[in-house]
Amino acid sequence: MKLITSTLRPLASAAIFYYATLWLVVLVTVGTISQKYFGLQSSLEKYFSAWLIQPMDMPLWLPSGRLTMTIILVCLIAKLIVATKWKTQWIGTNITHIGVLLLMSGGVITAYTTTEGNIAIQEGKEASTFQDFHKLELAVTDRSHANHDDVTTFSDGFFTRDETFSDDGKIPLKFRVVHFYKNCKIVTRPAAAITSQHKGQAGKIQLEELPPDNDDRNLAGIELEISNATESENGYYLFLNHPQWVPTTITGSDGKSYDVTLRNRHYQLPFSIYLKDFEKLDHAGTMMARSFSSKVTVTEGKSSEDIKIYMNHPLRRGGYTLYQSSFDQSNPSGIETSVFQVVHNKGRLMPYIAIVVITLGLLIHVFMQVPRLLAKAKNKTN
């Protein structure tokens, strides 16, 4: 016990909080301005989700958002355990600090458990999977079965140079990453660099890395060396995460055909959504939207239910929340497409609890302190 206390004591320091928060101010400022030039997603990854940051690619590693906030959190926990005076005078401050602890714990849970993506459904169609906004996967589909497809996926955790991956139990193909870019463009491959090993599009083009797009419209691409296919099909292949990029069919050493494609990671929902109708209402006499709403039928097992999803009124079910987020009315036949944002977050209730606690704590503190601090000044000064 003493050991814990003596370890925590130096951590429970206002100075650590003070300098860590000053550094966080710097990160928040730079990370915000950076969004204009490098897009929200890449700024978020660099300044807020990452542990360390290398400013301007200098050989110098500084704490990024995640580490800075962890330091603040550790400092707060240490303060609460060893350095808190549990006296009436400090009741407001102490409650507030507990509230902040709850809020930050919610942040930790969210950071590690959230999946979010979207799902676009046409009127009259049904869907039960959604796609991650940013995470990618390499999907290998075995279409040899009569009534179902067997999909094997490899997450983007594998997508680092020279990494190899395979799934021996299910598919014979083996992969090695030659290049992977989160954002790239295609350029002609110089004739001298083309060998018989470059298959399909890889025989004509290659990828060139680009900085993150400032509107988050990134085109991810990967060049893979695939082996354990039929002898003539072993070699280098290119895959781009683009809707018009046709999956590449490769015959494995087992003689079966596999469709290989790079796509946003897919997740299965525990229920399915059927879109009956999407409606967009405008403010009278303008093109400005007043409301968006989607009438859907949600089917889970044998039960189904009719629900309307609209702005500020999401559908919550099985830990998933579906929000009306966008739409597409460009189809000339008049069939509209509704787009829902899908979020699964185990920490989502924490801010709700935290705000009650923090408000209570701050209110107590303000009521105890502010009247004294705004006291009459005149008789003292003159």
Contacting residues toward another protein, per CB under 8 A:
13-15, 17-18, 21-22, 24-25, 28-29, 31-33, 35-36, 40, 43-44, 47-48, 103, 106-107, 110, 114, 116, 214, 282-286, 288-292, 311-312, 314, 321, 323, 325, 341-343, 345, 348, 351-352, 354-355, 358-359, 362-363, 365-366, 369-370, 372-378, 380-381
CA 287 vs. chain centroid, Å, equals: 32
Residues in the chain: 382
Q: Is 196 exposed, middle or buried (0-12, 13-18, 19+ CB in 10 A)?
A: exposed
Nearer to another protein, 48 or 258 (CB): 48
Alpha carbon dihedral 38, 40, 42, 43, in 10-degree steps, equals 80
Paired sense of beta strands 320-328 and 337-344, if any: antiparallel
Nearer to another protein, 1 or 374 (CB): 374
Nearer to another protein, 35 or 253 (CB): 35
Nearer to another protein, 4 or 33 (CB): 33
Minimum distance of another protein from residue 14's CB (angstroms): 3
Minimum distance of another protein from residue 36's CB (angstroms): 5
Query: In the structure encoding, which two tokens stand for residue 95, read together?
Result: 């409650």
| DSSP string computed for 322-371 | EEEEEEE---TTS--EEEEEEEE-TTTTHHHHHHHHHHHHHHHHHHHHHH
CA 367 vs. chain centroid, Å, equals: 40
Minimum distance of another protein from residue 216's CB (angstroms): 10
Nearer to another protein, 33 or 60 (CB): 33
Minimum distance of another protein from residue 215's CB (angstroms): 8
Minimum distance of another protein from residue 101's CB (angstroms): 14
Which of 118, 108, 158 minimizes the C-alpha distance to 138?
158
Q: Distance (Å, rounded) from C-alpha 204 to C-alpha 178?
A: 16
Minimum distance of another protein from residue 265's CB (angstroms): 17
Nearer to another protein, 62 or 362 (CB): 362
